[in-house]
Amino acid sequence: MSKRRKAKDDWTPQEKINLFIERIDELESTKLVASGFNISSTISLDREKGLNTQLPNIDKDELRSFLTVFRHFISNDEPVYLYGIFNICHQFFTDESLKKDTEELKKYWKKALDVNGFKFHLNNNEVKPKETIDIWINSWSHHSDREYRKLLESFAPWQRDIMQMVFLDALVEATNVIRYSGSYVKEGLEQGYFSF
């Protein structure tokens, strides 16, 4: 089997925006998003029972299907990489207030990937939400990275559960920003706010 060749970035900005809208529609039609993407986890501590974690019951095939589309937005080699889409919006929006709004969306995107409701530390280093996404995608859903697999296998069950909670929460937060950005870009196209 041959190695995956790096995608050639020969997409025009307008083609990237059109593909972005297409990918947004694909994301919206995944079962996880279409069903409300309601992911709720619980951690409880009891003196007698100890630590108890409760993860949502998510169909693994549905999660893989979702991640197949989701990773287009977070992979900087993809034409619809969200930071790249923000840059296109900033460059080609004809309205200055929309350009400022794009800068705000970038901040929300950064926050979704860098901060969430949990702080997870591994060997005294904080593991950011974007890193948990990377670990789960590359060890479980789309690749079999040996180092990440060993890392997950080295965790006690409760540690793995907490890391999975951070991962799922990061997915929800990032997806909210992606979806909002999609509606924002669609509106910009429909209203003629792009000048390609």
pLDDT (tens digit per residue) in 3-62: 455 556 789 999 999 999 999 999 999 999 998 877 776 677 777 777 776 666 778 888
What is the pTM (predicted TM-score) of this model?
0.85
Nearest in space to 127 (alpha carbons), one of 81, 160, 173, 82: 160
Average pLDDT, the chain: 85
Alpha helices, DSSP H only, in the chain? 13-29, 31-34, 60-74, 82-92, 96-114, 129-136, 146-154, 157-190
